[in-house]
Chain A
């Protein structure tokens, strides 16, 4: 029972990370019908942004101020990179074949990964401990540190915030408009370009948040750190229904739990195969994912 509880808590914790990153994938897909392959690398850039800022200002010791600065640095850096990628690599291809955009996204992703190895160095860097290591409370022999709590808190706040943005603000309404009828939206006075950029930035910022939380809890960063998380989060997004925000979150938690149970109860080496098998199963049985809606193709 103890073991099961530990696996469950691990799964939920990691599931939160997947949820945050999956939101980015799903938002971009919802609005542009494209898979932003480079999302996982924007995540990585956020972590490195925070790393260098903290190092520059010598803020490596745990404190609420340092944590906030690190978080903001990551959010700003990731958001900025996301903005640039959209503007320079994807925007020119807005009218192109979907395949071309996907190929470009793959190109950007590889560029960041290998470029990161050259610019940042390929070796892992030790991420500073911005939150205290102290055990805040223990529950049935499982200890919770500040960072664990922050992961849940920040994820929760992000979801509420995002939900509010999408459903209750003008911008959110515009996003939904562009998402459902990109051809009509401009006629309604919506600046599509601005909305699309905003969507990208929001998604990237979420990834930046996730990156810092992960970097504090698992204090090792390297240019390839986004690859695995990206793959799993992407699967989570599709599984939950790509284009659906609640779907991304639910998908994230389900996948997190699934992976942890799988690893915990024996078949750890097949973890990657799990995500993809799940993905394939979903795409074949219910392509719209758990929460997605089927769109009828009109002739």
Chain B
């Protein structure tokens, strides 16, 4: 076990240093974007893939995390970048609370209905922020403190990504995760087995929204500017595409998908398409084709590093 961890740490640090020394700011920004997308995809994957609660509201949780962390650093903590990890966690906490509250009355809802409620929740969050002058309303919230340089940004965001992955992966393979998966298969049977359906669903929501909020906070500090427009339904859909593409239920699948789908549009940009970005044509087509031909996504429920079925 230790050897693997050491290898991983070395590769992580080495990649960071190589990116810092040899790659330009464009690629560096993409690397951070990839990590944030991965965190978001993981958070959605946990609630929708592992717990089978279809959530279309990640953008709302993201928004809560982003605005909380941004306002804290700007208005109360004097733009100190080294406090970002703290405010990001606070932002994540706010999102978690929201997620819990959303799940309270919703535990009876299934599938489509739950998806719509979560979508509705995210939209309501967006509308509230849009009308809230203090955080900028439609003008958005500007001049959010960013990480001072790439290595710091890479390390901090990377560590958060690793944290997210480790926590969610271990939850997935734990008793808790198995309970959630049981709900997945047959809710009535699971309830009969004493799996405390409602409580588990609520906890799953809380955890998923926590990480969505974390991703949102990091997103804000990466871009330096957030507005209600960033957190639209389209954002939730984008995150959904990452999670589905990687495979709902596979944590490493989400990370892999985030990597491929963050890089893909940039590669496509080099192609001559008359100045029109085809990402929003290709992504949906990819999604539809995947659903028809390979609905389990890239990895299904398996992890990249699992050689046998447990």
Contacts and interface: CB of A to CB of B under 8 A. Distances in A.
Q: What are the nearest 3 A-B pairs in CB distance?
A: A276-B120, A107-B287, A114-B280
A161 interface: no
A269 interface: yes
Contacts of B116: 35, 234, 238, 279, 283
Given A114-B280, A272-B123, A273-B124, A98 B111 contact: yes
A163 interface: no
A contacts with B: majority SS = helix
Interface string B175-203: 00000000000001000000000000000
Contacts, number: 104
Given A98-B112, A104-B288, A107-B285, A118 B276 contact: yes
B113 interface: yes
Interface centre among B113, B131, B188, by most chain A C-beta atoms within 10 angstroms, is B113
B contacts with A: majority SS = helix
B171 interface: no
Interface residues of B, number: 38
Contacts of A279: 116-117, 120
A93 B48 CA distance: 19
Contacts of A34: 112
A299 B186 CA distance: 10
Contacts of B117: 279-280, 283-284
Contacts of B285: 107, 111
Contacts of A115: 281
Interface in B277-298: 280-281, 283-285, 287-288, 291-292, 295
Contacts of B54: 99, 102
Contacts of B272: none
Given A107-B288, A111-B288, A283-B117, A96 B280 contact: no
A85 to B, nearest CB: 10
B123 A276 contact: yes
B115 interface: yes
A250 B253 CA distance: 45
